[in-house]
Every structure is written in C-alpha cells, then in structure tokens.
Structure 1
Amino acid sequence: MKHLGIGIGWRPEIAGAVERLDGIDWVEAVAENLCPGHLPDSLVRLRERGVTVVPHGVSLGLGGADRPDPRRLADLAARAEALGSPLVTEHIAFVRAGGELTASPRLEAGHLLPVPRTRDALRVLCENVRIAQDALPVPLALENIAALIDWPDEELTEGQFLSELVERTGVGLLIDVANLHTNRVNRGEDPAGVLAALPLEAIAYVHVAGGVERDGVWHDTHAHPVPEAVLDVLADLASRTSPPGVLLERDDAFPPAAELAAELGAIRTTLAAAEPAAPEAAASGAAAPRPAPAEGTAAPGARDRLALAQAALLSSLTAGTPAPSGFDGRRLRVQSRALAAKRADVVAKVAPELPRLLGDAYREAFLAYAKSRPMHGGYRQDALDFARSLLDAGRPADAEVRRELARWWKERSGPRPPGRAARLLRTLTRAA
C-alpha cells in the first residue's frame, strides 16, 4: 500500500485551518461533496503543495442487496481522476433498501448501517466489490463501520468477515479504530480479537475519531475529542504493523486549530510509542479460524434474501413498522432516533432556510415528521418533503412564516430553478 503518513479529514468548515496545520501529509474529502470540474480552491492549493487527496465515498452501499449503481461508480471514478488520488475508499455498509428486489418502495437510511455477517451477505458484498473494482481507475479500500445494533443469527465474526472479504476480492481495508471501540461498547466485540484476525498487509490506512457515551451506548459522533480508549486501540494496531497512513476525522463541532493540532500530536505520539511486533509474532497473533470460501458469484437467491431482510430492518428504523424477529427492540429504537437526529442535522445544513424560518421549533417538528416518513430521494428531497408535510398540515401557525415557507418550497420543488425573469417578477411583487 502507498505510504500516506499523517492526515486529517478535509471539510469546508475547517479548510483554512487544515491548510495552516504543520506536518499534514494528506487529506481525505467526502467524495459526494466534490465536483470534479470545480474543486474547492483549498484542495487545489493543497494538491499544488504535494498533499495527497483521497476521496471517501459514503453513498455506494456496497453491502446492500442491489448491484452498485453505475452512475455512482462513474462519479466516484471521476473524482479520483480529478484529484489524482492513489486510491478511493468506501464503507462495508448498506444505505438503502427496498425497490425492485422486494417490490416495495425504495428507502434511504441517510446513514451507514451494518451488513449481517452471514455467508449470503458476504457473497453479495464480494460480488459488489468486484463490480466496483472493475469500474474504478485506482484501488479500492473499504472501512469497517460502527454499529448500534446486531443482526440475529450471524455466522462470522467481524475479523473473519473482513479477512474473507480481502481474500476473495483483494480489496484494501480502511480500519477505523474508533469504530472498533464503538463496537466494543455497543456490541461487546473485542478490538484485539478483530485486529488479530485481519490480514494486516491489506490495511490501506487508519481512521481515528471521537465520540460520546450516552446511557451505556457509544455514539460515533466525529464531533468530540478522541478519547484515550480509541488511542489505545490505535496503539494495539500499531504494535502489530506500521499502518501506511493514519487520519484524524472531525465532521462537526469543529474546535480551534490548536485543538486539532493537539489531537494530531497525540496520534503521532501514540504511533511513535508503539513498536510493531516481529513478523513471526505478528503472524502467529493473526492466526484465526477462517470461514468456508465464498463462491465467485452470489448464490442463487442470496440477493433476494438479503434484500428482504434489509428492507424489513430499514422500514422498522425509518417508518415505524414492527421490528424484525430476533432484533433487540431497545437498540432498534436507539438506532432509529440516531438516524432521525442525523437527518435533522443534515437537512438543516443543506436547507438552512428551514431552521431559520421555524426557529426553535425546527428540530422537534422534523423529528416528529421523521418518525413515519422514510427518506426516499436524498437530503435535499427530504427537506422539500418535510416542508410540504408542514404546509399540508396548515403549519406553521404564523401565517406570514407559512407563506414564506410556501414560497421557499415552490421555488425548489419545480423541475428547474426560477429563471431571471421569474426572480425579477418575484422581487417586484414583494416590493409592491
């Protein structure tokens, strides 16, 4: 794997701070937030300085029952080429369900959800990964995700699942040590056991991030400082192998640049203090039972079975339908609230006019809407659907606010944005 060094997640909110940080060898940017023909000036300047930029995808859903969307793959490939990236990364997760395989409405999670660690799911994932690899101009690496819920009747451990995926596809691994810590708290999974089962030579790079514990559940927020427990997992990994790259993630509640620099310093200190074990010891530590080899293609019916299971779970999480058999109902409620909260936060970012118009009532109103209204077409459509639901219910109560909300919705719900003449007419009408 290419040596990357120490990096940080590039976000528009901290673009200036990232450019000023010392010792940054590379950055990672959310692929879906980039336009290949109009890269942010900050990323252009970083590239001109020799800083590597890696696009990190969040919407492929390679762990889903459907085959990867060719358009999404083409978009990810275009971003990799525009950035001159040595690799691209995505997640071992599903993000949507329903549709043709289930003859039911397509549902969007708006978040990364865990794949069942079963042989059916592994076969489907391997086939999807091969399709993606064939469509991408550079190597692909996949990230282990954090989870609040367990699938019933799983057949493989996390380490076995990841190891078999690498063996059957040659895909790289993006190991998120914060997610390993999250799964220790939420699912009782030992990070050391997962690391011991991994093919360490497949690691492309490592994520480090913060979170917070509430009521015995660890939330991988990317909005809190990195705790010692996560650095301890990083130290364990670094004692087994020297990772080609390590990256600090921060997605919200951005601290001053000095605090980011201090967290990067803690990561460097942790790596320097860890000495990889001798190859013989590392090899013996990695010996773990392997599952039976997966077939070259998904077994007949595997996609259909996975599709039905994922659609039932996502419907329960986003539409309030009964919990599928075998799931922990309390954990499903926690996950459902987390999904709704994330939707509220992202909608507020993509449509800031809504919290401005609704004020303090925005969040409560959105969470009430999200309880039984699954997301169908992405966050911008979610914002429009939310506004329409309020208007259909005769809300907000303030007539002037309701009229302004109706104008906002009409301007954005048509087939195209209003033209210059329409904007001029609207301005004149308002002035009159």
Structure 2
Amino acid sequence: MRVLGTGIGWRPEIADAVERMRGIDWVEVVAENVCPGHLPESLLRLRERGVTVIPHGVSLGLGGADRPDEGRLTALAERAEALGAPLVTEHIAFVRAGGALTASPRLEAGHLLPVPRTRDALDVLCENVRIAQDALPVPLALENIAALFSWPDEELTEGQFLSELVERTGVRLLIDVANLHTNHVNRGEDPAEALAALPLEALAYVHVAGGFERDGVWHDSHAHPVPRPVLDILTGLAARVAPPGVLLERDENFPDPAELVRELTAIRGAVAAGRSHAARGTAARGTAVAGAAGAGGVGVVARPVAGVRERVAVAQTAVLSSLVAGTPVPEGFDRVRMGVQARALAAKRAGVVAKVAPELPLILGAGYREAFLAYARQRPMRGGYRQDALDFAGHLLKLGRPAEPGARRELRDWWLDRAGPAPRKRGLVSRVLRRRG
C-alpha cells in the first residue's frame, strides 16, 4: 500500500488555510465538485508542491441494484487522471432506486444509504465493483458508511461482508472510524469487534470526522469537532495495523484554521498511541484476528446475478420510497429510526440546495427552510440538487409564492434564467445579492 501520511479534506472554504498548513502530505477532494479541465488553482498549487490529491466520489451508488452508470464512471476516471491520483475512492452504499428494474419512478436519495448485509446485496456489489475497476485507470477503495437504521434479516456481519467483498474483487478499503462510532451508537455494533473482523490488510487509508448526538441518535455531520470516542477507535485501529494514511474530514461549519491544526495534531497523537501499543507486543494478536477474518472467504464462488438485481431493486426501492416519498415503512424496519432518516435526508436536501442555489434563501428570506421542507415532503428529488433547486422554485411559482410581489418577480427571473437553454439576463445573481445583501 502507498504511504500517504496525514491529510485533510480539501474544500473551497478552507483552501487558503490548507495551503498554509504544515505537515499536510495529501488532500482529498469530492470528485463531483471539480472539473478536470478547470481544476481550482489551489489544488494545482498543492500538486506542484508534491501534495497528493485523491478524488472521493459520492454519487456512483455501487451498492445499488443497477449497473454503474457509464457516464459517472468516465467522469471519475477523468478526475483521477487530471489530478494524477494514485487511487480513487467511493462508498459501499446506494443513492438511488426505482427505474427499469422495478418499472417504477426513479428516486434519488441525495445521500449515502446502507446496503443490506445479505448474499444478494453482496453479489450485486461485487459485480458492480468489478465493472468500476475495469473502467478506472487506478485502484479503487471503498468506504464503510454511517447508518441511522438497520436492515432486518441480515445474513452477514460487516466484517464478513467486507472480507468477502475484498476477497472476491481485490478492492481496497477506506475505513471511516467516525462511521464505526456512528454505527456503535445507532446500531449497537461494537467498534473493537468490528475492527477485529475487518480485512485490514486491504486498508488504503482512514477517515476521521466529527458529529453530534441527539435523542440517542448519532449524526455523522462532518461539521463538528472530532470526539474522543472516535480518536479512541483510531488508536485501536492503529494498534492493529499502521494506517497508510489518515485524513480529517470537515464539510461545513468550518472552524478557525488553528482549530483544524489542533484536530490534526490530536489525530497524529491517536495514531502514535496505537503504534506504541502495537510495539509493546499487542499487535500480534490483532493481526492474527484480522488475518483470520480476511481468510474466511477462501473458496467463495460468485453466484450469477440474473434475477438478483431485481430482488435487490425491489427492496431498496421500497426503503427509499418510504424515506423520500412518504410510502409505508417496509415491514421489519424500525419506524422511529426511519423517520429520523427521512427528516435527515430532507434537511440535507435543504442545506445542499441552499449551497448550489444561494440566491433562493436570499430571495425567500427566513421562510426558505420551512418552504423547502414542505416541498420535500411532497416531491422526491428527481435529478440531482441543481434540478431540485429548479423544481422547488417552479413549485413555489405555481402556488403564487412568495406573497410579496417583488420577491416573486425575483424568483421568477431566477427560475427563467436557469430553466431555459441559455441565460436570459447577465448579472442576475449579482443583482439579487446586491438587493438582498
């Protein structure tokens, strides 16, 4: 495995701070947020200094029932080549459902959702991973995700599921220790047991992030400080294997750069404590356990997936429909947790739409969030966040809103400027910002 060192998630909001930080060996960038032909100057300067840049995809949905989209794979491959990346990463998750396999409307989650740890889901995932590997110019690593709910009637533990995935595909793993903590709080899965069962010989690197707990549910926000339990899990992982790389993720609510540096220092300290523990002789036991887990799938033969994709599609569509379209929660699922997940998806939609279309909160003022959540309860996302913003604006205009004529005229102009094949007016965004600033 290539040694990466200590890294941080590159985001435009902290680009200048990242460039000034000492001891940053590599950065990770959300693949969908960069264009190969127009890379941000900050990333280009980091590359010139020898800082490794790794694209991290969020939209492939390799755990979904459909075969990976060729266009998304091509886009990810282009970003890997443009950035000179040694590998690319994605998630073990599904992000959309419905469509041809179920003869039902296409549904978008707008977020990463857990796949069931079943033989059917594993077979589909393995085939999708092989398709992705054939299309990508560099190795692929997959991340374990955080989950707010569990699937009923699962057949495998996470360790078994990931071990067999690694053995059948040769894919590498991106282990997010914050997600292990999330699943401990939300699903009762012991982090130490999870680490002991994971095939750590396939480890590509590690994510560390913060979150918050509310009403007994842990939310993996990437907008809060890294808590002590997450650092302790990182220490436990480092006691079993030397992480090739460790990266701090922060997606919003960015603190002062000095605070980010303190978090990176704490992460280095947690890794050092684990390696010190390993040096005292306890790593041998951990390696043996992890090795045994990794060998558990020897002789596993891939089953044909004819018919399997349809079964997975029906199950995932029923779950996603209950979360974003208000259909009944499938039998066996925790209704309270599914409600929490549904609200979290709607809140994320509202937040991301506000980012991709910042004029909308300016035009609508304090009523933006309430209006968007009311819209989201009625209408699932159908084509990504930018389309979601257009659909939301069109929905309001059909209702004759906003009530104030000037704001309604601004919203109409905004919608028309983006709904047509070409912008109607130049400078609309800047005028809205000036009037509402």
TM-score when normalising by structure 1: 0.95
2:390 maps to 1:390: no
The aligned runs of 1:68-217 (5 Å cut-off) are 68-217=68-217
Once residues 418 and 298 of structure 2 are traced to their aligned partners in structure 1, the CA distance between those partners, rounded to angstroms, is: 52
State the Cα deviation string for residues 306-343 of structure 1 (Å, max 9, x = none).
Answer: 00111111110001011111111100000000000000
2:419 maps to 1:413: yes
Deviation at 1:279, TM superposition (A): 6.2
User: Equivalent residue for 1:260?
Assistant: 260
Once residues 147 and 55 of structure 1 are traced to their aligned partners in structure 2, the CA distance between those partners, rounded to angstroms, is: 23
2:239 maps to 1:233: no
Once residues 297 and 285 of structure 2 are traced to their aligned partners in structure 1, the CA distance between those partners, rounded to angstroms, is: 23
Count of aligned residue pairs for this structure pair:
424
| Paired AA for residue 91 in structure 1 | H
Corresponding residue SS for 1:163: helix
Deviation at 1:419, TM superposition (A): 7.2
The aligned runs of 1:324-343 (5 Å cut-off) are 324-343=330-349
| Paired AA for residue 354 in structure 1 | L
Deviation at 1:231, TM superposition (A): 0.2
2:287 maps to 1:283: yes
Q: Between 361-370 and 291-300, report the one with greater CA deviation.
A: 291-300
Q: Between 117-126 and 274-283, report the one with greater CA deviation.
A: 274-283
Once residues 292 and 304 of structure 1 are traced to their aligned partners in structure 2, the CA distance between those partners, rounded to angstroms, is: 28
Deviation at 1:182, TM superposition (A): 0.2
Corresponding residue SS for 1:268: helix
Deviation at 1:292, TM superposition (A): 8.6
Corresponding residue SS for 1:367: helix
Once residues 419 and 350 of structure 1 are traced to their aligned partners in structure 2, the CA distance between those partners, rounded to angstroms, is: 19
Is this contact kept in 1: 2:143–2:175, CA < 8 A?
Answer: yes
User: Equivalent residue for 1:52?
Assistant: 52
| Paired AA for residue 283 in structure 1 | T
2:409 maps to 1:379: no
Once residues 262 and 95 of structure 1 are traced to their aligned partners in structure 2, the CA distance between those partners, rounded to angstroms, is: 34
TM-score when normalising by structure 2: 0.94
Is this contact kept in 1: 2:240–2:287, CA < 8 A?
Answer: no
| Paired AA for residue 59 in structure 1 | S
Q: Which runs of 5+ in 2 are unaligned?
A: 432-437
Once residues 104 and 299 of structure 1 are traced to their aligned partners in structure 2, the CA distance between those partners, rounded to angstroms, is: 21
Q: Between 285-294 and 4-13, report the one with greater CA deviation.
A: 285-294
| Paired AA for residue 4 in structure 1 | L
Deviation at 1:282, TM superposition (A): 2.7
Deviation at 1:199, TM superposition (A): 1.6
Deviation at 1:91, TM superposition (A): 0.2
Once residues 43 and 260 of structure 1 are traced to their aligned partners in structure 2, the CA distance between those partners, rounded to angstroms, is: 19
User: Equivalent residue for 1:8?
Assistant: 8
Corresponding residue SS for 2:378: coil
2:366 maps to 1:360: yes
Once residues 304 and 126 of structure 2 are traced to their aligned partners in structure 1, the CA distance between those partners, rounded to angstroms, is: 8
Deviation at 1:299, TM superposition (A): 2.9
Corresponding residue SS for 2:54: strand
Once residues 417 and 238 of structure 1 are traced to their aligned partners in structure 2, the CA distance between those partners, rounded to angstroms, is: 53
State the Cα deviation string for residues 377-402 of structure 1 (Å, max 9, x = none).
Answer: 00000001111111111111112211
Corresponding residue SS for 1:359: helix
Deviation at 1:300, TM superposition (A): 2.4
| Paired AA for residue 132 in structure 2 | A
| Paired AA for residue 257 in structure 1 | P
User: Equivalent residue for 1:301?
Assistant: 307
Deviation at 1:294, TM superposition (A): 5.2
Once residues 40 and 305 of structure 2 are traced to their aligned partners in structure 1, the CA distance between those partners, rounded to angstroms, is: 44
Corresponding residue SS for 1:112: strand
Once residues 388 and 365 of structure 2 are traced to their aligned partners in structure 1, the CA distance between those partners, rounded to angstroms, is: 18
Q: Which runs of 5+ in 1 are unaligned?
A: 427-432
| Paired AA for residue 288 in structure 2 | S
Is this contact kept in 2: 1:319–1:372, CA < 8 A?
Answer: yes
Once residues 126 and 304 of structure 2 are traced to their aligned partners in structure 1, the CA distance between those partners, rounded to angstroms, is: 8
Corresponding residue SS for 2:36: coil
Deviation at 1:197, TM superposition (A): 1.1
State the Cα deviation string for residues 180-221 of structure 1 (Å, max 9, x = none).
Answer: 000000000011111111121100000000000000000000
Deviation at 1:273, TM superposition (A): 1.5
Deviation at 1:258, TM superposition (A): 0.1
Deviation at 1:281, TM superposition (A): 1.9
The percentage of aligned residue pairs carrying the same residue is: 74
Deviation at 1:49, TM superposition (A): 0.3
Is this contact kept in 2: 1:156–1:291, CA < 8 A?
Answer: no
The counterpart of 1:403, out of the listed 401, 409, 415, is 409
Shift >6 Å, 4+ stretches: none
